[in-house]
Amino acid sequence: MMGEHLLELDPEEDIVDAFSCFDDGDKGVVDVKEMRKFLGELGDRMEDWEVSLAGPGDSQGYDSYPSDDQGRVSR
C-alpha cells in the first residue's frame, strides 16, 4: 500500500489526512489517476518518477489507505 512507505517520513495521522483529501465519499479508497494529476500539476509539483510511485491501483484504478473505519497501517 502507498501509505506504508510514507510512514518513515511523516506521522501516520498526517498521511491518512492527506489521502482522505482524495477520497470522495469517505470510502477508504482514492482514485489513483486523480491523485497523480494533483501531485504532478498543482502546488508543490512532484516529478513524473515520484508520481509514478503511486502505483497503478486495483483493476478499477483505486487504491486503499488506512481510514479510521479500516484501522491503521501496521508498522
Question: 37-61: per-residue pLDDT in tens?
Answer: 888 888 788 888 888 877 778 888 8
- pLDDT (0 to 100) of residue 3: 53
Read off φ and ψ for residue 45, nearest 5 degrees. Answer: -65, 140
Domains in the chain: boundaries:
2-64
CB-based contact 64:2 (threshold 8 Å): no
Higher-pLDDT residue of 49, 71:
49
pLDDT tens digits, 4-36: 555 566 677 887 888 888 888 888 888 888 888
Dihedral angle of Cα 7, 45, 18, 1, to the nearest 10 degrees: -50
pLDDT at 72 over 70: no
pLDDT at 65 over 60: yes
Domain 2-64 annotated CATH 3.40.50.300: no
